[in-house]
Amino acid sequence: MAKRASYLVVALTVVGGLAALTACTDAPADREVGEVPSQTEPSRTPTPPSSTETPKLRVEQVAGGLEHGWDIGFLPDGQVLVTQRPARIALLSGTSPGATTTQVKAELSDVFVAGEGGLMGMVVHPDFERTRRFTTCQTHTENGDPSDIRLVTWRLAEDGKIATREKDLLTGLPLSSGRHSGCRPTIGPDGMLWVGTGDTAQSAISQDRTSLGGKVLRLDLNTDEPAPDNPFIGSSNEHERYVYSYGHRNIQGVAVRPDSDQVFTAEHGPDRNDEVNLIQAGKNYGWDPSQGGTVGGYDEDVPMTDLQRFPDAVPAKWQSGDTTEAVCAATFLSGDQWGAMNGALVVTALKGAKVLVLTLTPEGDVASVAIPTEFDNRFGRLRAARSGPDGALYITTTNGSDDKLLRVTPN
Confidence category of residue 5, pLDDT binned at 50, 70, 90: very low
Distance CA 255, CA 280 (A): 13
pLDDT at 54 over 90: no
pLDDT at 296 over 90: no
pTM given for the model: 0.89
pLDDT at 14 over 80: no
pLDDT of residue 51: 39
pLDDT at 218 over 60: yes
Look at the alpha carbons of 244, 249, 254, 256 in this order and tell me if their dihedral is positive or negative: negative
Beta-carbon neighbour count of residue 107 at 10 Å? Answer: 12
β-pair partners for 193: 187, 219
Confidence category of residue 17, pLDDT binned at 50, 70, 90: very low
Beta-carbon neighbour count of residue 158 at 10 Å? Answer: 7
Confidence category of residue 178, pLDDT binned at 50, 70, 90: confident
Percent pLDDT > 70 in the chain is: 87
Identify the CA nearest to 87 among candidates 65, 105, 108, 70. Answer: 108
pLDDT at 317 over 50: yes
Identify the CA nearest to 72 among candidates 128, 120, 126, 112. Answer: 120
Q: Which residues have C-beta within 8 Å of that of residue 350, sequence separation ≥ 6? A: 1, 325, 326, 327, 328, 381, 382, 383, 398
pLDDT of residue 25: 27
What is each CA distance from 226 to 195, 208, 263, in whole angstroms? 12, 17, 17
Confidence category of residue 23, pLDDT binned at 50, 70, 90: very low
Distance CA 320, CA 46 (A): 9
Task: Quote the longest CA-to-CA distance of the chain.
Answer: 63
Distance CA 142, CA 168 (A): 14
Give pLDDT tens digits for 74-85. 999 999 999 999
Give pLDDT tens digits for 120-129. 999 999 999 9
pLDDT at 105 over 60: yes
Average pLDDT estimate for 340-353: 96
Distance CA 123, CA 194 (A): 10
Distance CA 304, CA 392 (A): 33
β-pair partners for 231: none
Among 26-40, 169-183, 231-245, name the one with the lowest average pLDDT.
26-40
CB environment 326-364: b (16+ within 10 A), e (fewer) = bbbbbbbbbeeebebbbbbbbbbbbbbbbbbbbbbeeeb
Domains, the chain, with CATH or none: 60-326 (2.120.10.30)
